Structure 1
Amino acid sequence: MANNNKQENEITSIEDLPNELFGEIFSYLNGNDASFSLIYLNRRFQCLVKEYCQRLDFKSITKSKFDLIFEEYDTQWCQSLSLSNDHHTYGQIEYFLQFYSLIDHFSQLKSLTLYNRKSIDTFKLLSQIFLLTNLVSLTLKPICGKIMSEFDFFNLKRLAITSCKNTTWIKKFSQLDSLEYTMNNCCLSQIVLAWPVKLKHLKIVFDNDDVGVLVPQSLTYLSELSILEIYQKKFGKSLPNGQVWEQLIRSSFPELKKFKFYFPFDYGFVSIKKEKKVLSSFSTSFYLEEKKWFIRCDIFTVSGIAIIYSLPFTFDQYTIISNSSSGRIVTLSNSNFIHSDKDLYKHMKTVIIESISEWDLEDAFYTKHNKNTYEQIMLNFISAPHFNSIERLHLLPNYYRYRNEYNIKILSNSFYILLKKISHLYVLEIDLSDLQFLTENWTNVILCCHLSENIRSLILHSNKHRRQFLDGNEVDQIIRVFSTKCQYLSVCVLSSIHTIISLLRNMKQLHSMHVFVQTKDNEEINMKWLEKQNIGLNYSNCFITNDEQNYYFWLR
């Protein structure tokens, strides 16, 4: 009898599992992924999706699947929504506002994220957001602070925004607990920094020293801060000073638990004392013993450049200098950190490789480098733990300055090593002429095959020093190499209208595409024109937007 009861209680089907277990699993899923996975299952699972999958993240969805969500589901259950106009989903926010509504479809939202909403009627958008009375978390990138200040978002607790260098308007949002503020040049206002006084978490991202030197003094009244993050994007002339930050933290931030920073700086070709002074200022007993805050400094000796940053690395982007031997100094020992080096850099997703061609170095320096030296420099870069989580590689335009028969094989091989070692890489951003050079005019079979198999997102730039035009042969090569797996393509190189037709017809895996187009007076790119091309695209699986000569296609 006991054996019979035991058999009756055994789970023999996945449907025998309790709702609570499914709920725990579903709570980790993106709502649109769960919806498509369970769309044809019974009512029980449909209800579980609505109850536990309360987050819809549309940052990489195709157009047809996006529409299907609204056709099949009542989205009022959603509490977190992400829309984006980035290279995965060009025009998605415009499309949503044209055919759907935040109020009608997402009235219960608590969290809203809108990426890259440049060409949208800002006032109209904010008017809809203002009516979301449950909203407590908002991400808007970018937006002008002057317009934002016209609205009162009293319930907001978290705000992530890209906006003006004059931040005085943000003081109006006095109820904020968390603020992530990225500065850009959306308006010509002067630099004035001010922050809501009750912040507990503040992250500031800026470009240059002109902002950086003003940041410390702007923070003195934020006595409730527990987390502070400072990220400087570009190399500065002002040296980072750990003593200034130490004094500020001691006097103004009694509750501060985490201090994260990233400061690239120019210490000069011969001023090694400056570099040591910076390092010592972040290596006092206050940092190492009292707070147990540790740093790493990467030194690019040829260029006189260094980057000092906190560990673990919490930012998503890192810059290295190519063809420049490097060293490093770390204040974190094995006894201080129980995790692996891989965990220290798990948040880093993008690496930018910058050429030292901007510095006026003599050609003779490069002629001294042989094949082994070039490859060793590249191997030193990629053997570091930085690269374990990298997904996106951005080679700045004009990355390779010297292109001759001697170094083309060397650099092509180094590039192949780089691609192979970055195991999670799927996004490549590169100058078209550099790509031609590195693939040896598309004849390097091994390298082309690797690109074909691994790159899902390709962004091609034009050489900034000479006007380029994408001819038919280059279009054919792009199709040959990248059509198998590439889902997102951006061609920032002047192209003809025929390039659009050829790419859309032959790159069947594309989910989105951007092309910089030169059109004739009688040529018009719109849906009516596209349907006449007989390539299987119409209003149901394509949405077109444009900004002057830039045309964007959200597909399939």
Structure 2
Amino acid sequence: MSEPKRFKRESTLFEHLPNELFVEIFGYLNGVDAVYAFSQLNIRFQCLLNYYVNNFDFKSVSKAKFNYITQLHDIHRWRSLCLSNDDNTPGQIKYFSQLFPPNEYIHQLESLTVLHMKPENAQEFLLQIRSLNNLVSLSIGLICGLNIQSMELPSLKRLVLTSCKHTYWIKNFHCLKSLQYTIEYNCNHNQNLIFPITLKYLKIFYEEGRDGNALRTILQQMSQLTRLALYDNARYSPMPNGKIWEELIQSSLPLLNTFQFFFPFDQYLNISSDLNQTIESFSTPFYLFEKHWFIRCDRSSKSLFMGALYSLPFAFSRMIINTCSFDMSISTLPISDFDEIKSNYYTRVNTIVFNQECKVPHVGFLSSNIVDLILKVNLPTSWIYLLTKLRHLRIIADMQMSSADFTRLLERAPNLQSLTISIIQLKILTDKFTNQIVCHQLSQQIQSLTISHHYSDIPNLGIVSVRLLCSLVRIFSKKCQHLSLALMAHPNTVRPILRRMRQLRSLHIQWRHVYIGVDDPVAYWLQQQSTDPTALDFVHTNDKNDLFVWFGNRF
């Protein structure tokens, strides 16, 4: 018998792969990750990165990595850029603008996203991007348009805007086809809504009680619309009326083929007959047969005056639970399509807001989708199985959850990394920081901690004493990369305690005006640390109460 043949498998070196394959791979990566992974390997990879990597998203990127990327890559070649002033990257927009003035470095951009900008900085930033003639897509907020002059971006086709109602400055965007607009009610100046009439797609987050009539008035001028999406963010809203929308669409929106909406309602004067009339108004031949637009109304037998009426499939990422059960929910969807509800109609929902303690989950929600949970009431245990992918938890009201139930929630949500909670609620859920199981779970999971005010309608951060700060540091120092809280202590007392949080990438402190041995704690802190943009840490303040630090020595 002949000796068995031996086959020698030749290994293929990674560098022997063709350029086309690397270009394909780079197309699936954020430019930040591609440059960080492949830079400084050899001349070939450096050339590929310079010529074919041009989309950069700096959201949640550490300052050290931000500096590394901007030093190694030619910014003039970028085509898409995302900057953010979120909790993980405070001051990133200002930092980038100081080092790389937008009118000099990014005039070639085709897509620009600027998130969580402070309104007071918007006017200067918009002045710097007026020359971006190649810009096709712009996402920007938060903006107060009161003092912003009208501008032209001749190539702009898509705008995502978070702003007050002063939108006069966008009226000359003559090529604009798509607008997603979130109205922020933070401006006391009254103003009528103004949109370019060239729009084909319009998506608005608004409050019906404040702007419902004004919105319907301006829609009468939007004859080119083919898609309309409306999300009512109001806490208390009247019952929606399908007849009003039917008449508006028939008279003013002849091209509209998609109408998506979420209309919560909360009126104590509602009775069952009112609700039936509302459902009937969305059940006319116009909706069911001509347009094939179907709705669902979620309501409970225990509180008929509260609920939500929305289009199917559900078109938004955020679902507000405005009823204590779904036992009297009703839909105009044909019976033959009911199975679709379980698999396809709620795939976009990734955020759930509990306004009411709903005992049984909706059959359509997918556990793989829910990443953000906002609790204004207790979380029923029957919902916990949906939270396997949960990443962000916000508790913004008093809850009766026990430490055992909270432990169960943490165990069922292994991906949880962000927590917003009042110090009072945190003390309750951890048994005053003595429950070793809960504290261990938090120390292993939480990467971002925000101590909120105990009352949810107050935007300020929650005050933490020095003693409680020591408890927070003891629990969260292992993994926590971002911390936001309010303090009433001398900066020299706070500094050595916070130094124990060695993983911190960013810090936000609100100082309260009480006697702490120094008149202006923010100014005192700034005296001890450089505010030069080239310094290791980027330190800035919006006013004399808020201090933001973006640390530069952690990747």
- Decide: shared fold, TM above 0.5: yes
CA distance 1:213–1:306, change in 2 (3 Å): farther
CA distance in structure 2 between the partners assigned to 1:247 and 1:238 by the alignment: 19
CA distance 1:280–1:42, change in 2 (3 Å): farther
Structure-2 residue corresponding to 1:476: 470
- Which of 531, 534, 539 is matched with 1:543 structurally? 539
Whether 1:427 and 2:418 are equivalent positions in the alignment is yes
Shift of 1:499: 6.6
After superposition, residues 205-224 of structure 1 pair within 5 angstroms as 205-224=205-224
**Secondary structure of the equivalent of 2:319?**
strand
CA distance in structure 2 between the partners assigned to 1:428 and 1:457 by the alignment: 6
CA distance in structure 2 between the partners assigned to 1:492 and 1:295 by the alignment: 44
Whether 1:316 and 2:317 are equivalent positions in the alignment is yes
Structure-1 residue corresponding to 2:380: 378
CA distance 1:68–1:169, change in 2 (3 Å): closer
After superposition, residues 313-352 of structure 1 pair within 5 angstroms as 313-320=314-321, 324-325=324-325, 327=327, 328-331=329-332, 335-336=336-337, 341=342, 344-352=345-353
Shift of 1:382: 4.4
Matched AA of 2:448: S
After superposition, residues 152-551 of structure 1 pair within 5 angstroms as 152-268=152-268, 271-299=271-299, 304-320=305-321, 324-325=324-325, 327=327, 328-331=329-332, 335-336=336-337, 341=342, 344-354=345-355, 378-382=380-384, 390-396=390-396, 398-400=397-399, 411-422=402-413, 424-464=415-455, 469-492=463-486, 496-497=490-491, 500-502=494-496, 504-518=498-512, 520-521=518-519, 523=521, 524-530=523-529, 539-551=535-547
**Secondary structure of the equivalent of 1:265?**
strand
Shift of 1:526: 4.0
Shift of 1:270: 6.6
| CA displacement, residues 185-215 of structure 1 (integer Å, 9 cap, x when unaligned) | 3533325233211111111112351112332
TM-score by length of 1: 0.82
Shift of 1:110: 0.9
CA distance in structure 2 between the partners assigned to 1:486 and 1:332 by the alignment: 46
Is the 1:143–1:186 contact (alpha carbons within 8 Å) kept by the matching residues of 2?
A: no
Is the 1:389–1:424 contact (alpha carbons within 8 Å) kept by the matching residues of 2?
A: yes
**Secondary structure of the equivalent of 1:213?**
helix
Is the 1:85–1:117 contact (alpha carbons within 8 Å) kept by the matching residues of 2?
A: yes
Shift of 1:30: 1.0
CA distance 1:270–1:203, change in 2 (3 Å): closer
Is the 2:422–2:452 contact (alpha carbons within 8 Å) kept by the matching residues of 1?
A: yes
Structure-2 residue corresponding to 1:112: 112
CA distance in structure 1 between the partners assigned to 2:283 and 2:488 by the alignment: 50
**Secondary structure of the equivalent of 2:380?**
helix
CA distance 1:301–1:415, change in 2 (3 Å): farther
CA distance 1:82–1:195, change in 2 (3 Å): same
CA distance 1:457–1:289, change in 2 (3 Å): farther
CA distance 1:522–1:109, change in 2 (3 Å): closer
CA distance in structure 2 between the partners assigned to 1:498 and 1:310 by the alignment: 56
**Secondary structure of the equivalent of 1:506?**
coil
Is the 1:296–1:311 contact (alpha carbons within 8 Å) kept by the matching residues of 2?
A: yes
| CA displacement, residues 110-134 of structure 1 (integer Å, 9 cap, x when unaligned) | 1111112216544432221012221
Shift of 1:61: 1.0
Shift of 1:57: 0.9
Q: Which runs of 5+ in 1 are unaligned?
A: 1-5, 357-374, 401-407, 532-537
Q: Would you say how many aligned residue pairs link Structure 1 and Structure 2?
A: 514
**Secondary structure of the equivalent of 1:336?**
helix
CA distance in structure 1 between the partners assigned to 2:134 and 2:451 by the alignment: 41
Is the 1:354–1:395 contact (alpha carbons within 8 Å) kept by the matching residues of 2?
A: no
Shift of 1:158: 1.4
Is the 1:162–1:184 contact (alpha carbons within 8 Å) kept by the matching residues of 2?
A: yes
CA distance 1:229–1:388, change in 2 (3 Å): farther
CA distance in structure 1 between the partners assigned to 2:510 and 2:100 by the alignment: 29
Structure-2 residue corresponding to 1:372: none
CA distance in structure 2 between the partners assigned to 1:480 and 1:288 by the alignment: 59
CA distance in structure 2 between the partners assigned to 1:495 and 1:305 by the alignment: 45
CA distance in structure 1 between the partners assigned to 2:148 and 2:390 by the alignment: 34
**Secondary structure of the equivalent of 1:435?**
helix
CA distance in structure 2 between the partners assigned to 1:525 and 1:546 by the alignment: 15
Identity of aligned residues (%): 37
Whether 1:553 and 2:544 are equivalent positions in the alignment is no
Bigger share in helix: 1
| Greater mean deviation of Cα atoms: 139-148 or 174-183 | 139-148
**Secondary structure of the equivalent of 2:437?**
helix
CA distance in structure 1 between the partners assigned to 2:487 and 2:322 by the alignment: 25
CA distance in structure 1 between the partners assigned to 2:336 and 2:13 by the alignment: 48
Shift of 1:505: 0.7
In the TM superposition, structure 1's runs of 4+ consecutive aligned residues that sit over 6 Å from their partners are 337-340, 465-468
CA distance in structure 2 between the partners assigned to 1:494 and 1:106 by the alignment: 42
Matched AA of 2:381: L
**Secondary structure of the equivalent of 1:172?**
coil
Shift of 1:246: 2.9
Shift of 1:497: 2.7
**Secondary structure of the equivalent of 1:176?**
coil
Q: Which runs of 5+ in 2 are unaligned?
A: 1-6, 358-376
